[in-house]
Amino acid sequence: MLPWRKPSANVPDHIAFGQWGEHIAAQFLRRQKFRILYRNFRAPGGGEVDIVCRDKPENTLVFVEVKTRATEERGRPADAVDYDKQRLIARGAMAWLQLLNFPDIYFRFDIVEILAANRQSPEINLIRNAFPLPEYYVY
């Protein structure tokens, strides 16, 4: 049995590992004074955001992508957030902001990297302002 897997979970190991990483990321963000608003937001027209939260000290809405890896064999976890992935996250963020009627607020895109070679004490790295809103979006 894998350490991050619940005995009754009926999902593939890589999905369970990613869900575990998102759980660890949410706990970490709470300790950093972020307020979690929503997890796994899927926009009706496409687009997705792993964690939508508010950075309370900076009064900023944050759209977080969580990347969990066991090793750095294929690079840092954040390396997987390529331009296509950024567009998918941005589409989800725009859908979220549309639900709020496009408020006049600050927002940004962060990445939480989790390296979990040792699952008892994973390495967690928050990358603030990891990428800008793609240029074809106007906000």
Half-sphere exposure of 5 (CA within 13 A, CB side): 12
Alpha carbon distance 134, 13 (integer Å): 33
pLDDT over threshold 90, residue 6: no
The three-class DSSP label of residue 139 is: coil
**Whether this model's pTM surpasses 0.75:** yes
List pLDDT tens digits, range 69-97. Answer: 988 888 899 999 999 999 999 999 999 99
Domains, the chain, ordered by start = 35-127 (3.40.1350.10)
Average pLDDT over residues 92-111: 95
Q: Would you state the structure tokens that stand for residue 60, as one six-digit string?
A: 């900023």
Please give the distance of CA 45 from its chain centroid, rounded to a whole number: 19
Q: How far is CA 60 from CA 85, 107, 109, in A?
A: 22, 5, 10
- Percent of the chain scored above 70 by pLDDT? 91
Contact between residue 65 and residue 130 where contact means Cβ atoms under 8 Å apart: yes
List pLDDT tens digits, range 32-82. Answer: 999 999 999 999 888 999 999 999 999 999 999 999 998 888 889 999 999
